[in-house]
Each structure stands twice: as structure tokens, then as C-alpha cells.
Structure 1
């Protein structure tokens, strides 16, 4: 429905085909330019049509239902229709003998008008009534909702995961809680229950129950299947390094495919504010920066695959083959690994059970409205934690940064420390760790331990955001490329031990600076051993890796 005009609907229901056609004809003649007229021959058919309209996000302005219909009369239909479209205006078509029933309907289901059949001439007996219905509907405001709709529960971890996936992939969506009347109406229209949440309804009316990310990506229009089997360059990971590589690879004529497991931007895409990136003196959010980079890569011809989990890499002659979790694969002349890092897991009782239900890794910006007026706790002392604290300070009553060390000075940029010190509702608790997360179905508090006095304190909160450490996504590379003891991939000079090239290296040259122990496989960004963990350096390494790919291809 996106991209075309959405006309409000005028619905008519009558089991007499002649009357049904006449009503629809008269309505189209007067209102067809601005409204879509839908007619049904029974109450059941009309309800089915309303459910489809509900799922598609199309508004219903008015409903006209015949009183005398078999199986379901007009009053019964309008009563059930109100559950789907409570703001639509309602009129009953009735014969003179049924005026008592019409008056009763006004009291029972809040019918706005009743029309006596026949209504000839319509200019005198039909149109004035419909004009009044439309005017009342307009005054209540019931605009179309062309976005993806998500129905879930605030404290449902799968619901949170779905919202984050859509938000980070810049897919517009509207959130409905199952506890709200409209959420219940959408579930009823979709023919599902609250046990099926999260429920995702696309603008075309497709219903997904607890969708896997790859199914969700496909349903909302993200590309998940490669258009070819062989490329010049496969870039694995769409953080700043991968996006940089994709932009430069595609712009320099390489047929490039960018593969991302979750969402473009990586860990940087979750940063609420980056203020030390060159060219943005007023700062820019990680989502904005990486979205611009994604659009730039696509403009140059990069193919982007979303929600694809890469599980294997191997060399087959001169080809480098990337395997996906579903058993499919793609191949290329060269591969750039830019899989980045993820936040390390916080180990304390209750953390795992409450993740996604009050405990979140990363900034989880979709939770900002729920933090209004509440105390928020942020674990970590690096820039990502400071940026999150500044972001949530605009919503929360207070933000407390929990730091294991003595202060922020050894791990956070000076400009961020100054901003935090100048923000009244942010405080820093040094020498403090999370001893436990408290709560049953969602987080209700945290137990903190003072590292100096070894005392504990329980404090109420519904939101704990974790930004600790960095774990590389390299388990799937075991036995393929050399890694250090922490799992980061070694490249270039780091592979030369005592002047010797890595085992299995067959080329008559040393590995290039960003090349791994597997020739033709390059590494950029945070996943590379000894790399500088900054957005600007990651972008630079992505661009540099493409230059080395060209040099590698010239050697072949």
C-alpha cells in the first residue's frame, strides 16, 4: 500500500443483491473520487472484509448495514464491527416496519443513523445521511496506518527483539501493546491470540506469528537472497568497516555483496550520539551515520543481504566461499571480514532470565519512552556507555553509570566525561558491580556491590543497559584463519613469527597488511587483532582493505 493513495472505505452490507448493487452505485456516484466503496452480501463476508482492511491499515469511514439479514442481522454485524473499527460511523438500512428495531439499535450499538428503504431520490434521503456520517468520522480522526504493525507485550523479550530489528533496519513500524484495545482488535482481525506474540502485520495484510528474523526481513522488503552465485567481493558484516568496504568496493567497479546478520551499522549503529567523527561538528547518531553509508553503498551498486547468518568460510581453488546457516552459499574472488564485536555478557543472577525484559545489551533506543520519569542504570565505562547515558538522561529521572574501575578517565573520551559531569541527572558510581538483577517477569531492581567496602545495596529500576567489553564474532572461523587468544583475527605483520609466514601460506609473498592467514581473505575494523576501536579507523580500514583486494586480484 505504500506508494499509492489510500482512500477511506465506505462499506455496505445487504443480502439482497439488487439493493446491494443500488447502494454501492449511488455511493460511488457521489463519493467515488475520494472514497473506496466496498460491498458485501452477508454479515460474515463483511466482517472478513473488515479484518482484511484492519490488517492492511486502511481506514473505514462509515458502514451501512441492512437490518434483515439471515444468520447475522444488521445490529449483530455492527456490534461486532465496532470491535474492529470503533471510530467508523454506523447506519442501519431498514424497512418502515422495522423502525422500532432501528431505534433499539441506536441504544444498543450506538448506531448514528437509520435509513428507510427505498431512499429515492438519494440526493434527499441518502447523501445527507452519509455526509453527516463522514463529517462525524473526520472529526474523530482515523487516519490510515501504512507502516508495519507490531503487536506484543512490553516485557516480552521476543517482542523487544522484533522491535529492535525493525528499528535498526530503518523499517517504519507502529507498536501496539496487547494490553491496549487496539492491540486486541488487531489480534482478533488477524485470527491469532496473545500467545502468538510478537505478531507482525505488514502493510499488505500478511500476518507473521513470532517470526524468525529472516522471515521478518523478507516480509518487510529487505533482501535476503543473493541475486548471483559468484561475486568479485563478499563483505561479511555491515558495521562501519563493512560499509566502508562496500562503498569503496562497489564504487571502484567490483561486483560487491554485503552480508549482515542483524542490521546495518553494527555496534556503532546503536550509538545514540557520535560527536568525534570527522565532518560532523554537531554530532550524529550511529543510526543516521550508518544509514547514510548503507544508502551510499547501494547507490554505487552494492547488493545488501539482511538477516543472513554466516557460518563457514573456505577456499576452493581461487574462489573464496561463504556458507550460510541454511546450507546455501555464495563465492567470490575475495572476502573482507568486518564482523565487528558484540558486548560481553554480564554474569550475575537474574541477568539472563531478564534480558529483553528490562535488561538490555546496547542502547536499545526503542525503550527510551518507557524510561520517562524512571531511574536508569548503565553498566560500562567506555564511550558507548557514556553516549547512552547522555541519551537516556533526556528521558529518565536519573541515570547512574556503574563502573568497575576507579573512574571513567582511563576508558572514556574527555569530551564525554565533561558532558556527563555537566548533566545534573547523571551520576557515576565507581568501584561498583551488578551483584544481581531482581524481578520475576520483568526487571524491578538491581543489587549493587561496592568493590571497596564489599557491601551490597538494592535499588529499584526497570531498565539496565549493559556496555561491557568486546567479544569478536569469529567462532565460525576456527581452523580457517589465525586468531589471537581472545578470538580477534591476526593480519599482515602479526602473522609473521620469527620472519616465518603462517602455516599453509602458499604465495611467494608476505600477507598484505590487512590480509589474514588465508590469502584473499582480508579483515577490517574491530574484529581485527590490534585494531583501533573507533568508527573512523574502522571506515578507513574498510577502504584500505578494498585497495589491497585490488592488489591481490592483480596478482592472480
Structure 2
């Protein structure tokens, strides 16, 4: 998908809730802030819709957008049909941002508004982890709150309005930082497109941390999911679900399910929620009659009925184990940084994989090594490679909050000009 299109009229989707690929399409629509109505396959509504379109025997899922229907719909075919998946328009950019989360989008808005040719590339939809959050209630300037996906959609449109180019559903597959500080960075996108950049921002964020439970891989998309988008709450009305996690994302997910009349069991490894969750969420969780919180508890087993999850076993700190029937399990257990590429490019990270910048990098005994080629110290938020910056959740020491990520991205946009001046680039 290229760019952030204005929201289209509500689309209709026929599919199976427990199918992994159907879930991926539903998740894509939700996190793109695209309204849709879901019709479970085999229901009278679904059969009537397919029959009216002459698609009774069509391969599911089917997405209906006005007069056009996509049979065997995938994220890629729908995005292409909506005008996406075009290659970058230029061969060289002043500034390339890898990652379209809050940090990356903020950097793009401010860089493009100051006249820099700017490209943003992401292998997913805009928003990063924030796109899974149905309502951010403590973001500056939104007293009624704003959904994470909607915030990302608006930020993307704002960046495009200033001239930034967004290339989505295609991340950066390869990179080459040359041995000369005055040469551009070479980047290869996942579709094979190649571009160069004078300055690069790594705002690659994090991915969900994987839970080590036997049989989990076979049940992913079949009742077990990483994250919990808004789309799932309505699908689980009246059902029993388990949410694993204790951060704000987990708290928001628990409330979404309970407000949609699902019965929620929340499994928390720590001894209290206050360690990792905002007070306003904790208070609402404690007041809700459909939420049961288990502290110092871990998920230990998943039980299947056919190819779908049917029950879970969880163990308390004292050794007591319980098994409960469930209709869905949602894992919101924090993340690990997208920095698998750093060792290849000799970018310094901490022991957990987060990118070192600023004073943290200067204090590392591995710096400057063989890759720092200037006499000056690195700029704030600059990594151990000249002209490569890092911001947001992927950066060591960052505050894992949307507002903090936006601030860091905005700061990088200002620092880009210092680097461009070194290169003799005039605007």
C-alpha cells in the first residue's frame, strides 16, 4: 500500500474468525482505521451477501467494496486494488525513515514540512504497536482520547500533505552503509526497489515477545493471537477470553473485551498492575464485573479441540494450577526490538538489542571502533554509524510512550539538517 488513503466507505467482509489468513485481513482493516462489517461464514447474513453477488462458491475471505468484490482476498490484493504497492518515486532522498510508527511519522512530518525529500518505508500498516491500541486517553491535545490506528492514519496523511512519500507493506530488506562518511546509504526494499539516502532514521519499533508454550505455533490465528485489535472485541461478545500481559496495551484490550460483554481472565506474571500500567486503566479494570485478574500467574498449557483453542491451564505462584475453557487467547506481553540488522551494519546495541545513541553510546567501550569516521562526537540520537539515527521504542533508554516517540522523531528531523550541512547539501 502506498500512502494513507482517506477512509473509504464501510466495506463488507465474509470469512471465518478462526482462520489465520482471515484474521490477518481483519487486523489489516482495523489497524488501517478502515470501517468494515464482518459476516461469519455460514450465517444467513453471509450467505445472503454472497448469493446476491453470485459468489456462493467463492473462496473465502470475500471483501466487498461498493460494486467491487475481492474473492480469496489477501492484504496484498486488497492494497493493490486500492492503488497501493507502487515503487518509490525517486532514486535518492534527503531523508529515509524506516518504520511508520509514531516516531517515524513524526520525523517525516517535520522533515517534509521543512522541505526535505522524505521517504517512509514500513513492512506493515502505519502506527506500529500504537495501532493495536483502540484508545489512547493520555495523549496531549485529545481530551476524549484517540485510537492508535486513527492517530497513525492522520499523521500519515499530514506527512503526505507536506510532500513525504509513504511506502507501506514493504520494509527494508537490505542496507549498505559504506566505509565513507560522505557517501549515501543504500537501501533495498522488500519488493526489490533500491533507493539511496543522505540520512536514515531507524524507527523500527518492536514486535510482540514470543510466549514459550508447547503447541502455541499451531494455534496462532486459530483462537490464539499476539496483540488484540479492536476488531476482536465485537467478535468475542458473550464469550470467554484470556488476556496475558500487564502493560497499557493489555489493560486496554481487557477493557475492550469486557465492554463488549466478553468474560475476561487476565493473567499477570507480576505481583501488581501498578508496575506497568497507567492508574486510570487499573481503576477501570478493578471496577468491571466481567474482568477477573490473576496476579503472579503464568499461562502454562493450551488445549485444542480440532485446530482451534478450547481451554487453557495457568499456574499461580503457590503452585496451584487451573484449567478453564476459552474461546480466545490474546497475548499482550511486551516486545523485543526490530534490530536483527544491527550486527550486520556494526550498529551498537545493548544486551537486549536496543540501539545505543547519545551518551549511552559514547560510554560503551566498543565505541568508536572502526566504523566512526569523523572527529566530532555523534549527534544526539545518532547511532555508532555516521548519519544513521534511532528513535522511539527501538532506542535504548527510550520511554515506551507514544508522546515520547513523537518527541524523539521530531528531534531527529531537526538534527538531520546538521548532518546534511556536513555533506554540503543545500536546500
TM-score by length of 2: 0.89
Higher helix residue share: 1
Partner of 2:5: none
1:354 counterpart = 2:219: yes
Higher relative contact order (CA 8 A, sep 6+): 2
- Contact 1:149 / 1:175 at 8 angstroms: preserved in 2? yes
Partner of 2:247: 382
Aligned mate of 1:528, from 382, 392, 395: 395
Gaps of 5+ in 2: 1-7
Residue 177 of structure 2 aligns to a residue whose secondary structure is strand
- Once the two structures are superposed, residues 33-57 of structure 1 have per-residue CA deviations (whole angstroms, 9 ceiling, x without a partner) of xxxxxxxxxxxxxxxxxxxxxxxxx
Partners in 2 of 1:461 and 1:187 — Cα distance?
Answer: 30
1:153 counterpart = 2:16: yes
Partner of 2:209: 344
Partner of 1:547: 414
Partner of 2:118: 256
Aligned mate of 2:26, from 163, 166, 173: 163
Pairwise CA distance, 1:335: 0.9
- Contact 1:357 / 1:441 at 8 angstroms: preserved in 2? yes
1:217 counterpart = 2:79: yes
- Once the two structures are superposed, residues 260-297 of structure 1 have per-residue CA deviations (whole angstroms, 9 ceiling, x without a partner) of 21111110111122222222233222122222212221
Alpha carbons of 1:205 and 1:283: their partners in 2 closer, same or farther (altered >3 Å)? closer
Partners in 1 of 2:10 and 2:237 — Cα distance?
Answer: 25
Residue 164 of structure 1 aligns to a residue whose secondary structure is helix
Partner of 1:486: 352
Partner of 1:277: 139
Residue 156 of structure 2 aligns to a residue whose secondary structure is helix
1:308 counterpart = 2:170: yes
Alpha carbons of 1:207 and 1:391: their partners in 2 closer, same or farther (altered >3 Å)? closer
Listed as ranges, the matches of 1:32-431 within 5 Å are 147-181=10-44, 183-184=46-47, 193=57, 196-203=59-66, 205=68, 207-209=70-72, 211=74, 213-316=75-178, 318-431=183-296
Pairwise CA distance, 1:216: 3.0
Gaps of 5+ in 1: 1-144
1:475 counterpart = 2:340: yes
- Once the two structures are superposed, residues 155-210 of structure 1 have per-residue CA deviations (whole angstroms, 9 ceiling, x without a partner) of 1110000111122123344433331356456667576846x333445546363535
Pairwise CA distance, 1:414: 2.2
Q: Could you say which structure has the larger radius of gyration?
A: 1
- Once the two structures are superposed, residues 21-74 of structure 1 have per-residue CA deviations (whole angstroms, 9 ceiling, x without a partner) of xxxxxxxxxxxxxxxxxxxxxxxxxxxxxxxxxxxxxxxxxxxxxxxxxxxxxx
Provide the aligned length of Structure 1 versus Structure 2: 409
- Once the two structures are superposed, residues 58-108 of structure 1 have per-residue CA deviations (whole angstroms, 9 ceiling, x without a partner) of xxxxxxxxxxxxxxxxxxxxxxxxxxxxxxxxxxxxxxxxxxxxxxxxxxx
- Contact 1:260 / 1:305 at 8 angstroms: preserved in 2? yes
| RMSD over aligned Cα atoms | 2.3
- Contact 1:340 / 1:525 at 8 angstroms: preserved in 2? yes
Partners in 2 of 1:288 and 1:295 — Cα distance?
Answer: 11
- Contact 2:133 / 2:229 at 8 angstroms: preserved in 1? no
1:510 counterpart = 2:362: no
Please, which moves more after superposition, 487-496 or 465-474?
487-496
